[in-house]
Amino acid sequence: MINVPIAFGHNKNCISFENTILNKELCSPGKPSLDLNKLTAKKQLKEMKSDESLPDRCKDIIKNYLPEGATSLDFLADILQVHKRSLQIRLNEQNTSFRRILDAARREKFNSLDVQSMDATQIAKALGFSTTIALEDSRKRWNIT
């Protein structure tokens, strides 16, 4: 129905549409069907994350996309469909920052990995680090050897 690539192996999936696309008329279904579909979609989107704070939602997104490069504010803002400055302001209003959330997401992801069966390069890649040295620096900061 919608021709988009699907990435498996993530805890969460989402499809984002611009408001202009959501307001376009559909060719095949009738207007009552379209209205019902819009209402259902809005209700489901509202319920999906209504109980989760912005920092928690950001942390979840980062954890799911660390190997794909979710280590930048630009990447996160793009996924959330907000301007990066707006995201910075909203995070600052909640007494946090992208760097703090990224560090917390990496630490949680590290704790969920089977590090005994992985070498340092695999762990670094899974956590979105460019080098194993950066991984080791974080492990020291987290008091994990």
Which pLDDT score, from 0 to 100, does residue 8 have? 64
pLDDT at residue 18, as a whole number: 74
Kindly give the parts of the chain with pLDDT less than 70: 1-13, 25-52, 145
Enumerate residues 6+ apart whose C-beta is below 8 A from 21. Answer: none
Provide the pLDDT for residue 64.
85
d(CA 90, CA 87): 5
- H helix count then E strand count, the chain: 8, 0
Say what the pLDDT of residue 88 is: 92
Res 31: pLDDT? 60
Q: Measuring CA to CA, how many Å separate 31 from each of 4, 44, 77, 96, 142?
A: 25, 20, 34, 44, 56
Q: Give the C-alpha separation, 102 to 104, whole Å.
A: 5
* Structure token pair of residue 13: 């999936």
pLDDT tens profile 76-105: 888 888 889 999 999 999 999 999 999 999
Which tokens belong to 58?
Answer: 């950001």
Entry pTM:
0.62
Contacts of 36 (CB under 8 A, 6+ apart): none
